[in-house]
Structure formats: C-alpha cells, structure tokens
Amino acid sequence: MPSKFRVAICGGGVGGLTLASALSKCSEIDIDVYEAAPQFSEAGADIGVWRRP
C-alpha cells in the first residue's frame, strides 16, 4: 500500500487554514499546520466572503 502524501503548511492565518481545509477533503494527504504564534487572536481586520451568483 502506498504511503500518504505529506504536506507541511507554514502559517495558521486565513490562507494557511483555508489550504488545510481544502486539502483535508483528500484522504490520501496528511497535513501538518505550523504556526509561530503561541495562540490565535483577533487581528483587528475583517474579511468578507460572498457567494458567486
């Protein structure tokens, strides 16, 4: 049986966590997310995501 493909994502921000979420849909990929900050906190910014019509 072939081994799983391993991916390391450096950064637990919006981009890193979005990538991790998308890759988690594939069962053949093991994902590790690395973040330098000791805890998650608010950045004081807002992100809006709208659905395409």
Please report which helix (H) or strand (E) contains residue 21, including its range: helix 14-23
Contact 24, 37 (CB under 8 A): no
Domain positions in the chain are: 5-34
The pLDDT value recorded for residue 49 is 82
pLDDT reported for residue 1: 61
Cβ atoms of 13 and 38 within 8 Å: the answer is: no
Answer yes or no: are the C-beta atoms of 5 and 29 closer than 8 Å.
yes
* Of 15, 14, 20, 21, the residue nearest 32 (C-alpha): 20
Residues of the chain below pLDDT 50: none
Global confidence as pTM: 0.71
